[in-house]
Amino acid sequence: MRLIIAVHIGLAMLMVAAMLFDALRRRRKELRARTSLSALRHIEAPPTLHPVIDPTRCIGSGACVAECPEKKPLVMLNGRAFLADATGCIGHGACAAACPEGAISLVFGTSRRGVDLPTVSPRFESSAPGVFVVGELGGMGLIANAVRQGVQAVDAIAAELDGVRCPDGVVPVLVVGAGPAGIAAGVAAKAKGLRARLVEQQGDLGGTVRSYPRAKVVMTHPVELPGYGRVRLRRTTKEALIELWRSVLDHTGVEPEFGVRVDGIAREGDLLRVDTDRGPIRAMKVVLAVGRRGRPRRIGVEGEHLAAVRYALDDAALHGGRRCVVLGGGDSALEAALALSAQPGTVVTLAHRGNAFARAKSENRERVEAAERHGSLRVLLGRSVSALDGATITLRTAEGEAEAVAADEVFALLGNELPTELLERCGVSVRTWRGEVYAPAMPED
């Protein structure tokens, strides 16, 4: 009997210890969440898809936090989920799918920061009939979602063209852009037996990924590519990802046509005439997957076209020993500044007109703070460019204080403009989103 009582007491003590440990663990998580929320009050929502949580419907299951594949932008606080670091969200949508009560909506933009996107239907057809918009151009920067959109758009096209005869000299599907979304659309069309052409303005494939700095780690997610199979990548380099796209094209036999610039799209009866620098292409359907990085934002001062001013960073090692000024407050600017500061003898200044890096991921902000403490990187916030020549760049505060910074090279990484002129010439309307729920259905696994 005494043995039984002792066993019961021991089990009870273990249960109490487990409960205390769990309570302590939850308390620590809440303390970290409060610290994160306090430190990020100035951070705005990112210009991509992100969650908004309805506190009246959230039951505190924690499923959204558990399912988020990123570095925990979502946290639990007082038994409810909160978006602690919006910049860490890149639009997976896994949180909304995991919520058992439907308390999470996926939105673009905020009331303070609007996001301009082409108007599309749930099947990604734009306001121009027959013209589909997928991938980064439609606001989906996440590679996996861009791939799924390309496949889903072709699924919708295949259903619509089923049994329809294609006239002579007309291609059933023209895909514009050889990035992840465009390649996915091209291989999906071939897998469905649809004759398609894939054209790309640049001289090689990769889309936005190609513009990343050399060896930049790219986050992606498992996806299914028709005619190829399941791609299981979590963290990989830019070079490895481009090689993956090459293997996909080799395996499926899809052959992109490089160096073809699309200037506009016009309707001719039931067909579309796509005007290119190599002559018109007539198609029944068009998939636009051109991305948003073709038009970098300019500095807006005299001298912005000087040879010393660059709008992308390919290989930081090529700029070792130089005096470099990086302009911008997003992830591209911070990552470029960090890569340059790691080169021997390089003097790097990171300047941003805002008072905080509100659009950058917490990981990059922390790395910049560490580099600044170490002395390898100088950070100037609240500065705008007032003058630029071949040797210096003049930065001015809101109060009018000016400082001339020596610069052998200036990297203006200020983001990219939506190609509105091309969209207008294609008949595609653009809408500004200010926190409204995203209309098209999220891609499914």
CA distance between the termini of the chain: 56
- Angstrom CA distances, 281 to 142, 171, 173, 269, stand at 30, 8, 11, 15
Q: How remote is the C-alpha of 121 from its chain's centroid?
A: 21
**Residue 7 in domain:** no
Arithmetic mean of pLDDT over the chain? 84
Structural domain includes residue 148: yes
Residue length, the chain? 445
Residues spanned by the domain of 152:
118-294+418-430
pTM recorded for the entire structure: 0.74
In a domain, 440, yes or no: no
Tell me how crowded residue 106 is: count the other CB atoms within 10 A of its CB.
Answer: 18
Whole-angstrom distance, CA of residue 325 vs CA of residue 313 = 12
In a domain, 441, yes or no: no
Query: Is residue 39 pLDDT above 90, yes or no?
Result: no
Mean pLDDT check: name the lowest of 22-36, 153-167, 346-360.
22-36
Indicate the angle between helix axes 362-374 and 331-341, nearest 10 degrees.
30
In a domain, 188, yes or no: yes
Instruction: Give the pair of three-digit tokens for residue 390.
Output: 């071949």
Domain end marker among 107, 136, 158: 107
For residues 157 and 132, the answer to whether their CB atoms sit within 8 Å is yes
What is the pLDDT confidence band of residue 83, given thresholds at 50, 70 and 90? Answer: confident
Find the CATH number of the domain harbouring 275: 3.50.50.60
Q: How confident is the model at residue 133 (pLDDT cuts 50, 70, 90)?
A: very high
> CA-to-CA distance for 44 and 256, rounded, in angstroms?
39
**Looking at the structure, do residues 60 and 195 belong to the same domain, yes or no?**
no
pLDDT interval class at 38 (50, 70, 90): very low
- Comparing CA positions, the residue from 180, 132, 127, 178 lying closest to residue 155 is 132
Walk across the sheet containing 402-406 and list its strands: 384-388, 392-396, 402-406
Domain count, the chain: 3
- Co-location of 52 and 143 in the same domain: no
Residue 176: beta bridge partners?
199, 288
- Residue 76: pLDDT band by 50, 70, 90 thresholds? confident
328 in the same domain as 287: no
* Helix, strand, coil in percent for the chain, rounding step 5: 30, 25, 45
Query: Residue 6 pLDDT more than 80?
Result: no
Within-domain flag for 3:
no
Q: Which of 21-25, 127-131, 211-215 bottoms out in mean pLDDT, i.e. has the lowest? A: 21-25
Quote the pLDDT of residue 29. Answer: 56
> Residue 354 region, left (φ>0) first, then alpha (ψ -120 to 50), else beta?
beta
421 half-sphere exposure, CB direction, 13 A CA radius? 5
Report H helices in 266-342: 331-341
Radius of gyration of the chain from its Cα atoms, rounded to whole angstroms: 25
Which range among 13-27, 382-396, 423-437 shows the weakest confidence by mean pLDDT?
13-27
**Sorting pLDDT into bands at 50, 70 and 90, what band is 106?**
confident
Do 205 and 289 have their domain in common?
A: yes
Helix (H/G/I), strand (E/B), else coil: 384? strand
CA distance 326 to 329: 9
Percent of the chain with pLDDT over 70: 82
User: Contact 95/419 with Cβ under 8 angstroms?
Assistant: no
pLDDT at residue 221 tops 90: no
List beta partners, residue 203.
none
Residue 73 has pLDDT above 70, yes or no: yes
342 & 284 share domain: no
Same domain flag for 331 and 398: yes
Where among 83, 107, 131 does a domain terminate? 107
Q: Are residues 266 and 354 in the same domain?
A: no
In this predicted model, what pLDDT tens digit does every residue of 354-388 receive, in sequence order? 998 877 887 889 999 999 999 999 999 999 999 99
- Residues 122 and 244 reside in one and the same domain: yes
Most confident of 37-41, 65-69, 168-172, 218-222: 168-172
Query: Are 182 and 324 found together in one domain?
Result: no
Do residues 388 and 273 share a domain? Answer: no
Q: What CA–CA distance (Å, rounded) separates 444 from 183?
A: 18
Q: State the amino acid at position 90 in one-letter form.
A: I
pLDDT of residue 167: 94
What are the beta bridge partners of residue 350? 326, 379
In a domain, 14, yes or no: no
Helix axes 143-161, 180-191, angle to 10 degrees: 30
- Residue 434 pLDDT grade (very low, low, confident, very high; cuts 50, 70, 90): confident
The pLDDT tens digits for 324-360 are: 999 999 888 999 999 999 999 999 999 999 998 877 8
pLDDT at 321: 94
391 and 283 within one domain = no
Question: Is 439 a domain residue?
Answer: no
The Cα–Cα gap between 286 and 275 comes to 12
> Which stretches within 86-227 are classed as H helix?
94-98, 143-161, 180-191
Strands 347-352 and 378-381: parallel
Q: Are 261 and 277 in contact (CB under 8 A)?
A: yes
Whether residues 398 and 281 fall in one domain: no
Residue 81 region by backbone torsions, left for phi larger than 0, else alpha for psi between -120 and 50, else beta = beta
How does residue 444 score in pLDDT terms, banded at 50, 70 and 90? Answer: very low
Does the pLDDT at position 10 exceed 70?
no
Nearest to residue 220, comparing CAs of 200, 202, 240? 240
The winner for highest mean pLDDT among 172-176, 179-183, 227-231, 298-302 is 172-176
Question: Is the pLDDT score of 12 beyond 90?
Answer: no
Mean pLDDT of 213-225: 72
- Please determine, for residue 17, whether its predicted confidence score (pLDDT) is greater than 80: no
CATH number of the domain encompassing residue 33: 3.30.70.20
Listed in sequence order, the residues at least 6 apart from 268 whose beta carbon sits closer than 8 Å to its beta carbon are: 282
The closest alpha carbon to 75, from 106, 39, 40, 29, belongs to 29
